[in-house]
Amino acid sequence: MSKPLRVLQFITPSGFYGAERWVLALANNLPDNAMICDLVVTQEGPKQDLSVAELYPEQAGKVHYIATRGRFDFTAVQKLVNIIKSRQIEVIHTHGYKSDIIGVLAARKAGIKIVATPHGFSNNVGWKLRIFIRLGLFALKFADKVAPLSQQLMADLKGYGIKERQLHFIENGVDLTELAPYRKTLALNTAQKPGLRLGYIGQLIPRKGLADLLQAFNLLWQKYPSSTLTLIGEGSQRAELEALATSLPCKAAISFLGFRGDRIALLANFDAFSLTSSLEGIPRCLMEAMAVGVPIVAYDIPGVDQLIEQDKTGLLAPLDNWQQLAVQLNRLAADPHLQYQLSTAARTLVDQRFSAARMALEYKQLFQEILAETDAIKIGRNS
């Protein structure tokens, strides 16, 4: 029996959102006995959310914490090297611009392979963050493989100068084992009163376009006043969005719940899920909603279009057109047959194509391939 791969996942958590949940999904779906998959997270201050480390499955591997002075600290490189050597790590797998920068430096110093998985690129950010994102993109040029989660990210990375030989597309996946207890029994309910319990789960930041969601919901509420909107998550724009909500006639129907550990249970109570982002990979939040059985109304952007086909697996509106988004919400609110058809087709798509188990197997194969290439080079040099 061959020995398991020794892999190190490295992330600098900014909350408990898409990238952090992705790391857990991968760990929960590792092929049996094929990998020891440790996790390293940075500790950047008392307010940092380290849920990804606290929830990391013990059977996957060991969790390591690296204390840093502030949000970016290059002393983390040597600390990471020490963990790599003590745990005999063969491949480091990084997630996000900070982990990419530190991970590339540590991998080169330790003499191991590095795979980076971009989860999307932020826009509408301050100049300091733009500089670090640019440095992260430059660091990707030194990764052995860059494995984006969507075809749009593949195209973006080519535009940033990442070489074709470095790129290896592995489609995103969702942890169906985590979602299993919350999956709805899909059934046509013609007795349902028109209206929607509409929801959103994710960061409250500008690129999520949530001001548009509030405006679209206001139009929905005017036609169907039994409708409600629940936003779950935290972010820099929360106060601004709450102020906008209180200025709308529908203010009493809007709830901001902040970060919630029971987000999937709350998701299962939604009648619809809406995403108004301007930029995404393949959104994990949409895959989770689709697997649970919650129909989707979203802006039509790259990444989302890999999941949602208009009138088949969800409803789409043009980017920045919240009036048309409201039209689609109204359609869904008025038509239980449409809700049932969309939910059924969306769940089938996720089950068949977007499982984390498939994704984990493809990553294992990628890790094995790059290590085999290294062994072949060594043999060639010694022959």
- For the question of whether the overall pTM of this predicted structure is more than 0.85, the answer is no
Provide the pLDDT for residue 18: 83
Could you tell me the domains of the chain?
5-173+355-382 (3.40.50.2000), 176-353 (3.40.50.2000)
Q: What share of the chain is helix, strand, coil (3-state, %, to 5)?
A: 45, 15, 35
| Tens-level pLDDT at each residue, the chain (383 residues) | 478 999 999 999 988 888 999 999 999 999 888 899 999 999 998 889 999 999 999 999 999 999 998 777 889 999 999 999 999 999 999 999 999 999 999 999 999 999 999 987 766 667 777 888 889 899 999 999 999 988 888 998 999 999 999 999 999 899 998 899 999 988 887 767 789 999 999 999 999 999 999 999 999 999 999 999 999 999 999 999 999 999 999 999 999 999 998 999 999 999 999 999 998 878 989 999 999 999 999 999 998 999 999 999 999 999 999 999 999 999 999 999 999 999 999 999 999 999 999 999 999 999 999 999 865 555 555 55
Number of Cα atoms under 13 Å in the Cβ half of residue 382: 6
DSSP string, 285-340: HHHHHHHHT--EEEE--TTGGGT--BTTTBEEE-TT-HHHHHHHHHHHHH-HHHHH
Provide the pLDDT for residue 68: 92
Residue type for position 273: F
CA 363 to chain CA centroid, Å, is 16
Provide the pLDDT for residue 34: 85
Residue 18 host element (H or E): helix 18-28
